[in-house]
Amino acid sequence: MSTLTRVSRRRFLQLTGLTATGLVLGAVMPRNRALAGILDEAAGAQLNLFVSVTADGSVEIIAHRSEMGTGIRTSLPQVVADEMEADWHRVKVIQAHADARYGSQNTDGSRSVRDFYHIMRQMGATARALLEQAAALTWQVPVEECTARNHAVYHSGGGSLGFGELAARAAELPVPAPESLRLKDSADFRYIGQSVPIVDLRDMTTGNTTYGIDVHLPGMLYASIERTPWLQGRIASYDSSAALKVKGVLDVVELVAVAGAPGFNPIEGVAVIATNNHSALKGRVALKVNWRKSEHSDHDSGAYLDELAARVEGGTGEVRRQRGDVDAALASAASVVEATYRTPYLAHASMEPPVATARVTDERCEIWACTQTPQATQRAVAEALELDVAAVTVHVTLLGGGFGRKSKPDFSVEAARLASHVGKPVQVVWSREDDIRHDYFHACSAQHFKGALDDTGKVTAWLAREASPPIGSTFDTSVRRNGSGGLSQGFANVPFAVPNLRVESHEAPGHVRIGWLRSVYNIPYAFGVGSFVDELAHAAGVDPAEFWLQLIGEDRFLDFSADGFEYSNYGRDIAEYPFATARTKNVIRELVGSIPWGEKLPPGQGWGLSVVNSFLSDVAVASKVEVRDGRLRVLELHGVIDAGRVVNPDRVHAQMEGGMIFGLSLALNGEITFAGGEAAQSNFHDYPIARMDQVPAVIRSHIVASDAAPTGVGEPPTPPTAPAIANAVFAATGRRIRELPLGKHFSV
């Protein structure tokens, strides 16, 4: 078996220790030199799956997660380097191909550090132990007298050997059992907790990077695909004669969709294949396609949202969480507050659109793609070409943003099918119009809330109903209602100490491909919940920050099962990652402590805040806005995050800044509408994303010091931002905006 190329039989027999995720500590990867592509391959002696050391002392560390801007290609190798005592300046990061042996490579759900922090420490510690043993054997001394430190192993009696000198010997040694590994004391961390600059920093400032769109293979052709405007639409007929006359166009190819739910499959379309992008795009203009309509060809997002709003206002849905007697409490309340909120569909619009390159030769396929999910890409391509998974190599390039769009392998499947058809390497480039019109759209939603207040301003009942097309509908068209996974994203798992509480969900059948966008259902739900808490605070006459703290109530660990709700806890055991109200309240307190909350402001200005626990992290965001002559400006954004132990503080700050700006962008401008089943937007003129002049001059983030287990960072800063801004608008103007984006109500 090629996996174990460099492992002696003796070592093979000792490869018994599995880590929690099933990664074999001592396993190494097969060499793949014949297929070496544009991306680097590790060249040194392999100590385990993630670590090789070359004879000249370079330590090669595998980055198995995709780099889309979070800095993960630096942060996880940083953990390995620290634990193995490598000198970061002599570390080379190698991007992994798709391979199930790495465990999950699905870079999604804000879980790279959360799921791999401990494993990376083990990989580093294994490498360190092997190097120390190799030194002990070389010197013929007990291993206890050998200590790795900053890229060399030192003997207690003096003398040292560099990692490069020990590499070959270390690679032949038996792998230590996981329980024998000695992890460093956190006081001795050299890199964990340090703002190590990202490994791609220099190249990103000189244009010397390779994103999906920068892959270039000899003889490669470019494809641009005209796709059906409707979910499940089909080609009725097409005329390629004019397209084929365009200079540079070589072929026009039908891409027929597979039957069934949209899933990860390409949308039906007609591809123009050319020698360059310009010709491919020109050919598309000349192409004439008639589409066959589908049952979704009359989808109208405005009417659909009206329907969802009527449903949530109209009556009881499926009860998903319940305690006490909400109806009785509402009936006997001193006052009842109710409100309905709407949020629109959204598109991802990563700056680099989806792009994949495929080369199909002799029963093999190689893919180069800006993918968040290398292994799903490998499987999807294998299935489409009827190949073994092992016959598909997926090279992962840098991603010019991902935000969940690039976790779908459809664009790689398109490239593979076309390359297989034309017998030459093909790069499929989605235009911006393709990207926005044919996205896996972020779900729209309608939410209705009722709150009962007693005469002291305490909340005695909380009723919440939602209707939002489920992601599940993309994979199974019979799914018409959000499940507990979706409702666990800030809707059913509200941390409120309210005696009577009921959460319901209504049907919302899917009419477009529903995907997931940075923080997923937390976006709509945070807007509904965060706005409604603010409405209750104002109705109760209590300062909103104080009101949040009272509503969350005393310090405790939340147990949603007591209310009959099956809380997903982002896939982690709630005993291991408890939902602690103290942590949520703390980010609110730290936030208001860091800003002039409660200050007297000139008319037309206001502060607002919101807080969300998502991806096991707590983030509170405050915003200061000004509304003058119908023009809304966000003047300040402040965020506090508790994400447990932080590996690279600068990158966490960067995610806070970027995540809040992402939230600001969707709050001000984000809206995709459908008319006649087609997305009405197509590019940045009608789907604007935040510009520099919309971003406040003051944007600050603060990280709560913690040595708790690491939790999510990439997504949690986004959800509280929109409600914080809308709440500030209310404070500034007295106008409660219950529908996003705010750009529909103000000039922004």
In angstroms, give the least distance from the CB of 405 to other proteins: 11
Per CB under 6 A, which of residues 66..125 are in contact with ligand FES?
69
d(CA 241, CA 238): 9
In angstroms, give the least distance from the CB of 587 to ligand FES: 26
Of the candidates 679, 675, 695, 696, the residue with the CA atom closest to the CA atom of residue 687:
679
DSSP state of 71: -
Binding site partner of 535, from ligand FES, other proteins, none, Cβ cut-off 5-8 A by kind: none
Nearer to ligand FES, 338 or 657 (CB): 657
Nearer to other proteins, 185 or 693 (CB): 693
Q: Does 201 bind ligand FES (CB under 6 A)?
A: no
In angstroms, give the least distance from the CB of 458 to other proteins: 38
In angstroms, give the least distance from the CB of 351 to ligand FES: 4
The Cβ of residue 192 has, within 10 Å, a number of other Cβ atoms equal to 24
Binding site partner of 103, from other proteins, ligand FES, none, Cβ cut-off 5-8 A by kind: none
Binding site partner of 218, from ligand FES, other proteins, none, Cβ cut-off 5-8 A by kind: none
Nearer to ligand FES, 18 or 351 (CB): 351
Nearer to other proteins, 108 or 132 (CB): 108
By rule CB under 6 A, what string of x and - marks binding of each residue 17-56 to ligand FES? ----------------------------------------
Binding site partner of 372, from ligand FES, other proteins, none, Cβ cut-off 5-8 A by kind: none
In angstroms, give the least distance from the CB of 569 to ligand FES: 30
Binding site partner of 497, from other proteins, ligand FES, none, Cβ cut-off 5-8 A by kind: none
Give the strand pairing for 59-63 and 51-53: antiparallel
Of the candidates 738, 306, 689, the residue with the CA atom closest to the CA atom of residue 534:
738
Nearer to other proteins, 294 or 431 (CB): 431
Nearer to other proteins, 540 or 661 (CB): 661
DSSP SS3 for 605: strand
Query: Helices in 620-682 by DSSP H: which ranges?
Result: 649-668
Q: Indicate the burial class of 743 (C-beta count within 10 angstroms; 0-12, 13-18, 19 or more).
A: middle
In angstroms, give the least distance from the CB of 715 to ligand FES: 16
In angstroms, give the least distance from the CB of 658 to ligand FES: 8
Binding site partner of 139, from other proteins, ligand FES, none, Cβ cut-off 5-8 A by kind: none
The Cβ of residue 322 has, within 10 Å, a number of other Cβ atoms equal to 15
Binding site partner of 3, from other proteins, ligand FES, none, Cβ cut-off 5-8 A by kind: none
Instruction: Give me the residues that bind other proteins (CB under 8 A), please.
Output: 67-71, 195, 197-198, 200-209, 211, 213-214, 216, 222, 247, 275-278, 281, 349-353, 398-403, 429, 431-432, 650, 654-655, 657-662, 665, 683-685, 689-693, 695, 697, 699
Q: In the chain, what's the furthest Cα-to-Cα distance?
A: 83
End-to-end Cα distance, the chain: 61
d(CA 661, CA 655): 9
Nearer to ligand FES, 402 or 451 (CB): 402
Q: Does 401 bind ligand FES (CB under 6 A)?
A: yes
Crossing angle for the helix pair 581-594 and 544-552, to the nearest 10 degrees:
170
DSSP 509-552: --SS-B---TTTTHHHHHHHHHHHHHHHHHHHT--HHHHHHHHH
Residue with tokens 């993918």: 371
Q: Which amino acid is at 138?
A: T
Binding site partner of 202, from ligand FES, other proteins, none, Cβ cut-off 5-8 A by kind: other proteins
Q: Which two three-digit tokens encode residue 715?
A: 């997504």
In angstroms, give the least distance from the CB of 214 to other proteins: 4
Nearer to other proteins, 337 or 695 (CB): 695
d(CA 117, CA 115): 6
- Kindly report whether the peptide bond that precedes residue 741 is cis, defined as omega within 30 degrees of 0: yes
d(CA 516, CA 524): 12
CB 51 within 8 A of CB 380: no
Nearer to other proteins, 52 or 78 (CB): 78
Q: Dihedral (C-alpha) 733, 347, 432, 244: value to the nearest 10 degrees?
A: -140
d(CA 378, CA 387): 10
Residue nearest to ligand FES (CB): 351
By rule CB under 6 A, what string of x and - marks binding of each residue 295-334 to ligand FES? ----------------------------------------
In angstroms, give the least distance from the CB of 116 to ligand FES: 23
In angstroms, give the least distance from the CB of 51 to ligand FES: 29
In angstroms, give the least distance from the CB of 432 to ligand FES: 8
Of the candidates 613, 633, 634, 604, the residue with the CA atom closest to the CA atom of residue 622:
634
Phi, psi dihedrals of residue 676, rounded to the nearest 5°: 55, 35
Binding site partner of 453, from other proteins, ligand FES, none, Cβ cut-off 5-8 A by kind: none
CB 467 within 8 A of CB 508: yes
Nearer to other proteins, 307 or 657 (CB): 657
In angstroms, give the least distance from the CB of 703 to other proteins: 15
Binding site partner of 211, from other proteins, ligand FES, none, Cβ cut-off 5-8 A by kind: other proteins
CB 608 within 8 A of CB 730: yes
d(CA 383, CA 648): 38
Binding site partner of 691, from ligand FES, other proteins, none, Cβ cut-off 5-8 A by kind: other proteins
Out of 55, 351, 390, 582, the only residue in the binding site for ligand FES (CB under 6 A) is 351
Interface residues with ligand FES (CB under 6 A) are 69, 351, 401
